[in-house]
Chains A and B, each alone.
Chain A
Amino acid sequence: MFAISRSKVIASSTRCFSTLESAGVKIAAQQEGASAYGSKLSVVVRGGSRYNTKPGVAHVLEKFAFKNNNHKSALRLTREAELVGAQLTSGVSRENIVLSANFLKEDLEYFVQNLGAVVNGTVFNKYELVERVAPLVAAEVNHANSDPVYLATEAAYETAFRSGLGNSVLAEAHSPVTIEDVVDYASKVYNKSNIALVASGVIPADLQKFVANSYFAELSAGSALKAESVKTFSGESRIKAAGVNAVTVAFPIQGASSAALAVLAKVVGGKSHIKWANSSSLLGSVAGGVEVSTSVASFSDASLFYITISGASASAVSSAAKEAVAAIKTAAAGVSDAALAAANAQAKLEAAAVFESFSNEIVGQQALSGSKVGLASLAKVSAEQVKDAAASLLKGKTVVSVVGNTHELPHADELF
């Protein structure tokens, strides 16, 4: 037998954020960061694609970050960041736009000013949209659209939620966003009710003082954006495409994801975390050069459990899709102790990794919604809970989306 001895983890070693407010701006800050010299500061903006006023406007607004603002030109902003060895990044998801800066500890005040100037003073020149932002958006969209796995997942979201969470994260080629749309959207999301600052490796009191003297303090109060209530749907989406075949089997769920679902995703599994090895999960050794992965996307009021299968051979992908549905049925019948223990540990590690990721998105979202900031409970999930979660998935709404050789890939009624 093989046994690992584990030392007890002391709870105080987890990441602790103190939540503050400065001039009406919500802040979550922690003094100890990943490094002794570096700090990171993120602005988490409630304004992801689910709040789109026009398809793709959130994506365009995200790409407008760090462009010319009233206080500094885009060129100066980038060159100065280079000089002090900092990184500026931006990203968009279904719920948030996140603007981040990663810099040396002594530059905190400077970057509070700069991020404040981006949120409060971006001028949104029409020519910048045409010359710099639109080509960037188009390049990102083209790159994403060349990936059948992305297409299948997006199609699954659209079928499962239709509007809101069903909106495509990235812009779409057929709906050009005008500069007026961007200005209008920016005025709705860039205000005190919709942003939260997240910082690590800073002294919270310092940050509070700097924010009070920055452009953040001059933002308008605004009103918190409300998402339309989520409705879930069953359905099927079939997209003809050349190249790799992909199938996504998805289960939309009302309400935020549970720990049991996260563990179930690891039990069903797919691609191994260990290099050059097959995973021991239920879908760990699917034949035919097929890649399988199972994930749970969790949002504030809904979640999507989905298995994505992709591969060059349509017949291998089809049979893997059938195996995937069978795996959930197997899990609904019962889970072995060994598989459960491994899945519990993997789910915990993944939750911790996401919480500590560079973007700080989860922390920001918690601060914005006013809930407790911290890593969600990592309590052990029992076999019974996993079994129930799998059974309730099969009873709920189901979505199947296929991309590739549609004449060979399975229909929804052939899978369930």
Chain B
Amino acid sequence: MSTFIQTAKIADFVLSKPGLAKIAVPIASWFANAAGYRKIGLKYEDLITEENPTVQTALKRLDAKESYDRVFRLATAHQCSLSHKLLPKNEWVKTSDDKPYISQYIKEIEQENQERVLLDNIVVSKKN
């Protein structure tokens, strides 16, 4: 299973190579726009599967305001989906507003879980 830490590592690698970033970033922005989630009022990180303990814990760590905004965006998107309509163009989520807000918490939790697994399976060797 690919984790957020791995994804973040790949993204950092791509961004660290100017040549690679020059090709990848425009494709990524085109893809995000074409996916259409911004047209029903969602941010990219609203699409993360939340039915697992890691993301559930991360959701609890959000600020009250962030958490409220997220629920509002999800409700808007559901309404759009039910009525088979897109939001009016001026209410689409702007590229500049489509910022990560939960991945830092998810990464922290994944890190802690990985560390726990490591420590659970630790082998102590005697130093001579």
Contacts and interface: CB of A to CB of B under 8 A. Distances in A.
Interface in A127-155: 127, 130-131
Contacts of A131: 60
B94 interface: no
B115 A76 contact: yes
A75 B61 contact: no
Contacts of A83: 122, 124
A401 B115 CA distance: 51
B112 interface: yes
Interface residues of B, number: 9
Nearest to B109: A127
Interface in A262-285: none
A79 B61 contact: no
Contacts of A130: 61
B61 A127 contact: yes
B119 interface: yes
Contact of B119 (A75, A126, A127): A75
A130 B64 CA distance: 13
B116 interface: yes
Nearest to A78: B119
Contacts of A79: 119, 122
Contacts of B112: 73, 75
A127 B58 CA distance: 10
Interface string B87-128: 000000000000000000100000010011001001010000
A261 B38 CA distance: 75
Interface in A62-114: 73, 75-76, 79, 83
> Which of B105, B119, B122 has most A Cβ within 10 Å?
B119
Nearest to B63: A126
Interface in B41-89: 60-61
B91 to A, nearest CB: 31
Nearest to A84: B124
A130 B61 CA distance: 9
Contact of B115 (A75, A126, A127): A75
Contacts of B119: 75-76, 79
Contacts of B61: 126-127, 130
Nearest to A82: B119
Contacts of B122: 79, 83
A126 B116 CA distance: 21
A233 B106 CA distance: 54
Nearest to B111: A73
A126 B104 CA distance: 14
17 contacts: A73-B112, A73-B115, A75-B112, A75-B115, A75-B116, A75-B119, A76-B115, A76-B119, A79-B119, A79-B122, A83-B122, A83-B124, A127-B60, A127-B61, A127-B105, A130-B61, A131-B60
Interface of B: 60-61, 105, 112, 115-116, 119, 122, 124
Given A75-B119, A127-B61, 10 more contacts: A73-B112, A73-B115, A75-B112, A75-B115, A76-B115, A76-B119, A79-B122, A126-B61, A127-B105, A131-B60
